[in-house]
Structure 1
Amino acid sequence: MTLRLKPITREQHLAYASSRPSVSHMQVPSWGDVKPDWRAESLGWFDAQDRMVGAGLVLYRPLPKLKRYLAYLPEGPVIDWHAPDLEEWLRPLIDHLKAQGAFSVKMGPPVVVRRWDADAVKAAIADPAARRLRDAEATTYEPRAFDVADRLRRMGWQQTEPGSEDGFAAGQPRYVFQVPLAERSLEEIHRGLNQQWRRNIKKAEKAGVTVMRGALEDLPAFYDLYVETAERDRFIPRPLAYFQRMWTALAAEDPDRMRLYLARHNGEVLAAATMLTVGDHVWYSYGASTSHKREVQPNNAIQWRMLIDAHQLGASVYDLRGITDTLEDSNYLLGLLRFKVGTGGQAIEYLGEWDLPLNRVLHKALDLYMARR
């Protein structure tokens, strides 16, 4: 196949993304507006008949005082990753990014490698010999993913390994947890929850926990809980302005792209979460909760409401995003994994993020800078 790559308009990009059943929320045009420190560009692949057959959102991060850029395609680009001529898809991308002044390219192929069902994950957590999820036998394998990885290596791409401590990559998570919704009734999804989840949902209902959708003006209430969560779970919180910008940018593209949910008990907000939707894929994006009144189970209540709404939207998958790959009891993220496993979904390993150094000196300097951070 003869392919041409060229910049496209936001309208062309959005139309192509809308024609696909599933595209990452980081590969729609509005995501570039969420990241003001990066310059965004929409690119399209065209075949010999001038039909658009692929698209990608590129974010360019400038090096201080130099007109050189890190080019990043988070969870993209959206191309035929299993095409026999994959090199013909990526070569024009690399040429274009070089011409734009990129010294390094990072991308995240949306290619699934392995899946573990909930029982397999629970067995792995209980197995003292399994230090990482990858040590446990997967429920299913995607053999074509290994071919994609081999071809990327032959082209000079380097796979970014998950961090040694918790299994999260430096950019987007390589391991996620998803609840399949396609062709399942709400009753079937409820039966798929483990006993603790079903008990906690009922407990929240009896205690009078209510879950309502919020609006832009409710983001400060979410943010107060988010800062408390960041301190408790040991991560650096983003500023409130980031979430306000995300809401405004995504809503301008699609009024239902981003939702906010608030779980209240006796008028007090105990938990809050954001939900993103692109096509038939729904993501639980950010979550926050307070440490007190946990006995009324607001976190289970808010997730169940979001699952219900995702199902009503016709989503094929509810994506709980990143999970740890490390299964040792000392890992503080193991509790979050256990919480997500209770939904009865499946752990999924993607191909992860890949780097292509175009200038090895600058790429190495970036690696050293990121390591110090």
Structure 2
Amino acid sequence: MAELNAFYVTDRDAWNAFVEHAPYRSFPQLWEWGELREPAGWRAIRFAVGEREDQPLAGAQVLIRTVPLVGWRLGYAPRGPIGHFDEPETRRSLVAAMRHLRVLEGLATLKVDPEATATDPLGRALLGPPWRASTKVQPPRTRVIDLSLDEEALLAGMRKKHRQYVHKAERAGVQIEQLAMNATPNETASALADFYAIYRETAERAGFAVRVQGYYERVWSLFAPRGHASLFFATLDRERVAALFHFTCGDRAAEAYGGMTESGAASHANYLLKWEAIRAFKAAGFASYDLWGIATGGIAQFKEGFGGRQIEYIGARDLPLRPAQDAALRLLLPAYGISQRAHLRLTGHRLAGSDD
């Protein structure tokens, strides 16, 4: 392998093209995710390594934030790094580029959180030095449904009770709709308001936190125009009673936010909604459907009932770049690991579906 160069990527289309085709790809590495986090005080950089700048082999979008009071900087690569990591030289070059962020960006610590397992080349590399285990940000476990299976096989992979609830919802008259990409501004605003009302009602009932409505409107405005977001509803008697918000990245679709009203739960609309979303992504040519996190209790049972393969990721890992600052942060800030995770959650990096 020829010598690899490290470089920043400053073109949105070039970066997203790399992300959408890279191994370990995931939507939080898309350019728009960095833009989404800017109002919360994060600044995004995108860097890669490769023989040529127009052919990156591996890289990461890193979000940078200054720690209050002390002024030191932390970096976080949500669901990164991504790329081709089979060759040791690629792994070494990327770590060298990450270490150089100490000088270029003034980072004290860099946290990564890729979709890598302990048996992957990337996962094995991150489980050893110079990396250390870190506090969880993104869900460490998920279930992924293989959309190359035919519909009969997908149905067979579901629990019997889930199949029954899908058919009950159909008989109850539940209908499924998807917000069209060419919807008018008024139609889009109405759909997002309905989604938020459903999601907030679900959060109040289940006891999890949601952000303000404007956050989800901004998500849609950033991701949907580039084809990276979709919104499905289940309706009953012309009323929207369940909703699912997805991100897409390359040939992968992932759930992010969803919920149902009491009437949606009573009619099992959420079962039909998820099944029809799976069918829609399969029909559109997607290769996989990520249920995005396996929590505990009823939510876990609901997701597991749709089949798929459970995947355990290695979790977040830290690369200390300024040892003295890194050590001081861990010692001096109250419960540094917990507070850092809480900070990331409050500022929008932890997605619905984690199993806290």
TM range (shorter): 0.7 to 0.9
Cα shift at 1:366: 5.3
Q: Offset of 1:89 from its aligned partner?
A: 2.0
Q: Does 1:104 align with 2:75?
A: no
5+ residue gaps, structure 1 = 114-141, 162-168, 325-332
Counterparts of 1:1-373 in structure 2 under 5 Å?
A: 1=1, 2-9=3-10, 10-20=12-22, 23-36=25-38, 37=40, 38-47=42-51, 51-64=55-68, 67-85=71-89, 86-113=91-118, 142=119, 144=121, 147-150=124-127, 153-155=128-130, 157-160=131-134, 169=136, 171-182=137-148, 184-214=149-179, 216-217=188-189, 218-252=191-225, 254=226, 256-324=227-295, 333-357=296-320, 358=322, 359=325, 360-365=327-332, 368=335, 371=338, 373=342
Shift of the alpha carbon at 1:193? 1.6
Identical-pair percentage: 28
How far apart are 1:49 and its partner, in Å?
8.7
| Cα shift at 1:31 | 0.9
Normalising by structure 2, report the TM-score: 0.83
CA contact (8 A) 1:159 1:353 kept: yes
* 1:73-119 per-position Cα deviation (integer Å, ceiling 9, x unaligned): 01111133343232332121221244312121110132123xxxxxx
- Relative to structure 1, the CA distance from residue 345 to residue 143 in structure 2 (aligned partners, 3 Å threshold; closer, same or farther) is same
1:342 offset after TM fit, Å?
A: 1.1
Shift of 1:24: 0.4
8 Å CA contact 2:174–2:234 kept in 1: the answer is: yes
SS at match of 1:235: coil
Which secondary structure does the structure 2 equivalent of 1:57 belong to?
Answer: strand
Deviations 1:214-269 (A, max 9, x none): 363111111112112222222221111111111111124x1x21011111111222
State the match for 1:137 in structure 2: none
Q: 1:188 to 1:232 in 2, by over 3 A?
A: same
CA deviation map 1:22-71 (0-9, x unaligned): 62001111111111221111112122797422232111122225553211
C-alpha distance in structure 2 between counterparts of 1:365 and 1:82, whole Å: 39
Amino acid of the residue matched to residue 312 of structure 1? A
CA contact (8 A) 1:104 1:363 kept: no
Inter-CA distance 63–211: structure 2 relative to 1 (3 Å threshold): same
| 1:280–1:70 distance in 2 versus 1, CA, 3 Å | same
Amino acid at match of 1:58: V
Q: Does the 8 A contact of 2:61 with 2:77 survive in 1?
A: yes
Q: Work out the CA distance in 2 between the residues paired with 1:189 and 1:288.
A: 22
- Report the Cα distance in structure 1 between the residues aligned to 2:112 and 2:155, rounded to whole angstroms: 36
Q: 1:247 to 1:80 in 2, by over 3 A?
A: same
The two structures, once aligned, show a CA RMSD in angstroms of 2.3
User: Cα 1:42–1:143, aligned 2, differ >3 Å: closer, same or farther?
Assistant: closer
State the 1:174 CA deviation.
0.7
Deviation at 1:210, TM superposition (A): 0.9
1:154 and 1:84, CA in 2 relative to 1: closer, same or farther beyond 3 A?
A: same
- How far did residue 272 of structure 1 move? 0.8
Q: Distance in 1 between matches of 2:259 and 2:43?
A: 29
The answer to whether the Cα contact below 8 Å between 1:71 and 1:97 also exists between their aligned partners in 2 is: no
Residue identity in the other structure for 2:308: G
Gaps of 5+ in 2: 180-186, 343-356
Q: Give the TM-score, by structure 1 length.
A: 0.80
